Amino acid sequence: MNPRALPSIHAGPATQAYTVRQGRNTAALPQQIAPGSPQIAQITTKASNRLRVSTPAVYSGINMPAACAPGFCYKKPDGALAAGPTSVLEVVNQAFAVYDRSGNSLLGPVSLQSFFGTSTHPYDVQAIYDAGNAAGGYAGGSGRFIVTALVQGNNGPYRASELVAVSQNSSPQNGGWCTYELNGVVNFPSGASGGADYDGLGMDGRYLYITSNLLSFHSGDFLGSHVLVIPKYTAYPDASSGSCPTATSTAFDNLVNPDGTHSYSVEPANRPDAATGTSYGMYLVNALARGGAKLAVHDIVVNNGVLTLNPAHWVDVSTYSIPYSAPQPGGNNIYPGDTSLDGATWRYGQIYTSNTTRVVAGGQNVNPHASVQWYTWVPGQSTAATWAYTDPNIAYYTPQLVVGCQTNSTPCTSPYTALSFTGSSGTQPASFYSLVAGSGAPTLVQSGVPAWQYATEWGDYPGVSTDPNNHSEVWLEGEFTQSSTVWGTAISAICASSC
């Protein structure tokens, strides 16, 4: 199952073998690309100039058998991660688990179907930690974990719901949760109706933002996109009693790009440092479904308690295109997804987002299948800085990024970008890689095994999280082939200072 991939958007043969260029490119480095320019300025990465980072121990996360319901299993690992002050929450497909910060199990895996009480199986999970609420925030304060998922066909046909859960406090293994099922169906004037699919999750100081595609119940065709805005005070349980309020929401349907085309796979730019009660509005970003050299940026603003969605504008970036299926040893090529953005964040004054691309404009020794690319810009700018990492011998795909600070200080004057993604080649099984921009080549965090059987399916996104205790530390969840029929996940922290 690949919930977000649409037949009209597939390009290229899904399992065709492509010839990988020979010869290891030992100088493969992150490259900054000037939009519209055929040339690439390579980053200098001499040892004395590299960002020095440390990677604490890696520990195992949820694997496929632990996430599966009896008799039913998604064969693709879609992951989410949220780090709190004393615990780390991981959600993958159909289950979540809680660990201490050393990787020891505190809770789970817990079935999402049981947790939300649905008749069908949830999918497309997301998770964030609201650290800002700890300082005199909503419903008695305390930091909160937020988990979202989608479900279709719950208690009847032609139904789609957006599931939301908020923890009572910052210890999700001990406190209670409030769970909500919100409407995920949109009826269009044409008579077509669609259900939510491929969701995104973000927050500011006052609201939660859930984005999703809308797919036709009858044909599976993409109909448009959808944003649900939830006031935190209507969803956060009382920190003392655990009592649950009644969640309310405002919906914006059918987002469009500046040229009038439907926006596809829109992502909210999450604000992990947002102070409680403040509403800066929310930027929503999306790539073009079939590739291009622009991103669409929408923004929701709040005036006197009224939410308004402003028309989108373009931000110019370097070219990106739909990737080709990625090789693996002993099996058919792996489907690496499309050009959809894999999450977004608004931190330290800039918006950051990433996707997979086949084309790396002006690049040398570009992988013929897939490379990771990411973008940064200051809100209001019309041009973004574009960065890419490519290796002629290893295809990298499904990147998710997170932004930390090189020093544990506020305000941050030296942010850094870390990415989690999958890599594979004709000799390298699908494996979990991490990359800190400016620190050299990617790190092989957890190697996989050959001959993944479900080659037409792979996870749409891994999980990432900032750290509420230390701005210089970030958390990554990655995915790999644990056996030819079982995927696994691993969790690691990266630190750019003393941790």
pLDDT tens, residue order, the chain (499 aa): 333 332 222 222 221 221 222 222 323 334 444 433 322 322 223 333 456 677 667 999 999 999 987 788 888 899 999 999 999 999 999 999 999 999 999 999 999 999 999 998 999 999 999 999 887 788 888 999 999 999 987 766 778 899 999 999 999 999 899 999 998 888 877 778 888 889 999 999 999 999 999 998 888 899 899 999 999 999 999 999 999 999 999 999 989 999 999 999 999 999 999 988 887 789 999 999 999 999 999 999 998 889 999 999 999 999 999 999 999 999 999 999 999 999 999 999 999 999 999 999 877 789 999 999 999 999 999 999 999 999 999 999 999 999 999 988 889 999 999 999 999 999 999 999 999 998 889 999 999 999 999 988 798 899 999 999 999 999 999 999 999 999 999 999 998 876 6
Q: Is residue 294 part of a domain?
A: yes
Q: Is residue 182 part of a domain?
A: yes
Q: Which value, to the nearest 10 degrees, does the dihedral of the CA atoms of residues 156, 157, 158, 161 take?
A: 40
Q: Is residue 24 part of a domain?
A: no
Q: Is residue 415 part of a domain?
A: yes
Residues 6+ apart with CB under 8 A from 114: none
What gap in Å lies between CA 310 and CA 357, rounded to an integer? 29
Q: Which residues of 264-290 are buried (b: 16+ CB within 10 A; e: fewer)?
A: bbbbbbbbbbbbbbebbbbbbbbbbbe
Bond before 411 cis per omega within 30 degrees: yes
Phi first, then psi: give them for residue 65, nearest 5 degrees. Answer: -60, -35
Q: Is residue 17 part of a domain?
A: no
Q: Is residue 2 part of a domain?
A: no
pTM: 0.90
Q: Which domain covers residue 224, as residue numbers?
A: 45-495
Q: Where residue 199 sits, what CATH number does that domain have? A: 2.120.10
Q: Is residue 36 part of a domain?
A: no
Q: Specify whether the CB–CB gap between 233 and 138 falls below 8 A.
A: yes
Phi first, then psi: give them for residue 232, nearest 5 degrees. Answer: -60, -35
**Domains contained in the chain, number:** 1
Q: Is residue 20 part of a domain?
A: no
- Token digits of residue 150: 């989608």
Amino acid at 442: P
